[in-house]
Amino acid sequence: MARLTPLEIQRCSFSRTLHGYKPEEVSALLARIAEQVEDDARERGELKAQLARLKAELDDYREKADAVRSALVAAERTAEATVARAEAEAARIVADAQTLAERVLDEAARRAETIELVIGQLRQQRRAARADLRRLASLLEGAARDDELAEERDGERTNLAMLRPRQREGKG
């Protein structure tokens, strides 16, 4: 059965009988029904338009959700790759630092050994210099004593008064 339009309902006519319905009441009812059918059709049209719009929005949101999901997956992959690279770089830096630290410690140990040797040699040189100074001091002390003795001996032997001419006693 084909659907009636509001216009078809309004133009509807019935044959007249002797004991039938009042035509004015039937026409009023048909007008009300036509109005309601028209309102329902308009509302159905609006609902169909709203449904189409909502379906389009839903499709748009689905596309955006798929794009966000794809971007999230790509971001996760990028983050994982970045973290892996950072961890590898950190491990390399730590290994390089450990190698450098070992080299620095080895070099420091070698330098400390060298310094200890030099300190030992300097101590020996200091002891030798101290012994030389003592010997020199002893020699100088001996030389000073010898000089004092020589001076005393010379003082006993040489008297300048003897070298002066004597005054003769008879002259006067």
Amino acid identity for residue 53 in this structure: R
Cα separation, 155 vs 122, whole angstroms: 47
Cα separation, 152 vs 32, whole angstroms: 166
| CA dihedral sign of residues 139, 143, 145, 146 | positive
| Of 151 and 72, the one with more pLDDT | 72
Beta-carbon contacts of residue 93 (< 8 Å; ≥ 6 apart): none
Average pLDDT, the chain: 87
pLDDT(24) > 90: no
DSSP state of 164: S
pLDDT tens for residues 114-150?
999 999 999 999 999 999 999 999 999 999 999 998 8
Residue 135, pLDDT score: 93
Residue 167, pLDDT score: 65
Other C-beta atoms within 10 Å of 1: how many? 3
20-32 mean pLDDT: 83
Residue 32, pLDDT score: 87
pLDDT(6) > 80: no
pLDDT tens for residues 64-112?
999 999 999 999 999 999 999 999 999 999 999 999 999 999 999 999 9
User: How many helices (DSSP H) and strands (DSSP E) are in the chain?
Assistant: 3, 0
Other C-beta atoms within 10 Å of 34: how many? 19
| Of 60 and 167, the one with more pLDDT | 60
